[in-house]
Amino acid sequence: MLRLSLLLCCAAGSLRGEQTPPLDSSRSAVFREAKFGMFIHWGLYAIPARGEWVMAFEKQPVASYGKLAEQFNPVQFDAREWVRIAKAAGMRYMVITAKHHDGFALFGTRASAYNVVDATPFGRDPLTELSRACEAEGIGLGFYYSQFQDWHHPGGGGAKWDRAQHGKLDGYFDKIAFSQLRELLTGYGPVFSLWFDTPGPPEVTRPAEFAGLVRSLQPQAMVNSRVLYSGRAINELDGKALGELAQMGVDYLTYADRQIPARPQWRNWETCMTLNESWGYNAQDKHWKSAGELIGQLVKVASRGGNFLLNVGPTAEGIIPQPAAERLEEVGRWLQVNGEAIYGTEASPLGSLQWGRCTMKAGADGATTLYLHVLDWPGDGKLAVPGLRS
């Protein structure tokens, strides 16, 4: 499929649609410019290679799943190579699972021995190495942190199938979650974003404290809405709820996985997407999206004003699977040519178009640039751009 970006300048005033509470702030500029990031799901679950939910799906006892740590030795891990792949793909930031629901910390933490430095033969801290490699290349580094669900530490949230999981939620929060979050916010330089997930009931899961801790220790870090709301809830938020989120220190909305909102949004939001159908490495999953499909999704997300966070699931050896790397490279080649129509753009004011999608940039001089992404050339060769008065 042929994709072209045409450039069209018009002196129209504001072409933005209705303004909703924007969740905007001084912090947002870099995020809005960046548009495209790499999501990384990596942990002990890369060893069984059946996805990051394997422990829960198979109700594996805490002790036996935990033994995977003794095998975790990704000697081929090279932070600079991962950053090179992200950068060549045109990605401007990455978000990595510092701790997923299995409770295993992918960083050196004093709050729990269940971490990559103390419990594995590998003994290195991948987050330290990534933070250095990202800094050297000008890539933002954000952390996914499962603040509520934790299947390993007593009192952690989520389903329970083992006595070892029983305990007080607040005990888990105070001993593990807040301590580890503090370490992530103080030990790795500037943090691009905090990506909370599966928040649990707000009355007992202390969302304001989580957001507040980020705000106080890393004033520039972007906080996602999953500190309070699951992805599905995002569609139903009214102005009041959005105002409360902003008040809490939340900077952007995370839609449900792989979901792209039906209409343009002039506020900060992000869609996370899998390259195949899995987040954590899954050896059986060969359902890779084509580069063309991925570019189409990136354009669709940009045309509705969002960021696209595209996931890779590295192997237990520390390698980003080849089919993933190949597709990312191709997306990067497209962005080399068409990046101007993606980075720093906002949602299209043109509504749905017969032939493709549109992104927009408002210039300092009051002029507006519309980028037309032509996905299907009209048969008569005439490209109709509706709704322009100038």
Contact positions toward ligand JFZ, by CB under 6 A? 52-53, 197-198, 230-232, 256-257, 272, 279
* Spatial contact of 154 and 165, defined as CB atoms under 8 Å apart: yes
Nearer to ligand JFZ, 59 or 110 (CB): 59
Distance in angstroms (rounded) separating the CA atoms of residues 308 and 37 = 6
- What the block records as the tokens of 291 is 């580069």
- Closest contact distance (angstroms) between CB of 220 and ligand JFZ is 23
Burial class of residue 175 (count of CB atoms within 10 Å of its CB; 0-12, 13-18, 19+): middle
Q: How far is the CB of 74 from ligand JFZ (least distance, A)?
A: 19
Please report the beta strands in 206-254, taking only residues with DSSP state E, as ranges in sequence order.
Answer: 222-223, 253-254
Q: Which one, 55 or 372, has the nearer CB to ligand JFZ?
A: 55
Cβ proximity to ligand JFZ, 47 vs 272, nearer residue: 272
Nearer to ligand JFZ, 232 or 287 (CB): 232
Residue type, 288: W
Residue whose beta carbon is closest to ligand JFZ: 231
Residue whose CB is less far from ligand JFZ, 172 or 334: 172
Closest separation in Å from C-beta 254 to ligand JFZ? 8
Q: Please name which of 75, 130, 73, 72 lies closest in space to residue 98, comparing C-alpha atoms.
A: 130
To ligand JFZ, the closest distance from the beta carbon of 287 in angstroms equals 17
Identify which of residues 255 and 343 has a Cβ nearer to ligand JFZ in the complex. Answer: 255
**Angle 109-115-121 (CA atoms, 0-180°, nearest 5)?**
125
CA pair distance 297, 73, nearest whole angstrom: 35
Q: Which is nearer to ligand JFZ, 128 or 198 (CB)?
A: 198
51 vs 90 by CB, closer to ligand JFZ? 51
Amino acid identity at 85: I
Please identify, using beta-carbon distances, which residue of 151 and 279 lies nearer to ligand JFZ.
279
CA distance 156 to 143: 19
SS3 state at 93: strand
CA dist list (Å): 325 to 85, 162, 231 = 7, 38, 27
Considering the complex, what minimum distance in angstroms separates the CB of residue 83 from ligand JFZ? Answer: 21
**Minimum gap (Å) between residue 155 Cβ and ligand JFZ:** 19
Strand (E) or helix (H) holding 244: helix 239-248
Calculate the CA 249 to chain-centre distance.
18
C-beta of 201: minimal distance to ligand JFZ in Å? 15
| Least separation in angstroms between CB 354 and ligand JFZ | 31
| Cα torsion 252, 256, 259, 264: sign | negative
Full strand arrangement of the beta sheet holding 368-374:
4-10, 368-374, 356-362
For residues 166 and 180, give the distance between their C-alpha atoms in angstroms, rounded to a whole number.
Answer: 20
User: What's the min distance (Å) between Cβ of 279 and ligand JFZ?
Assistant: 5
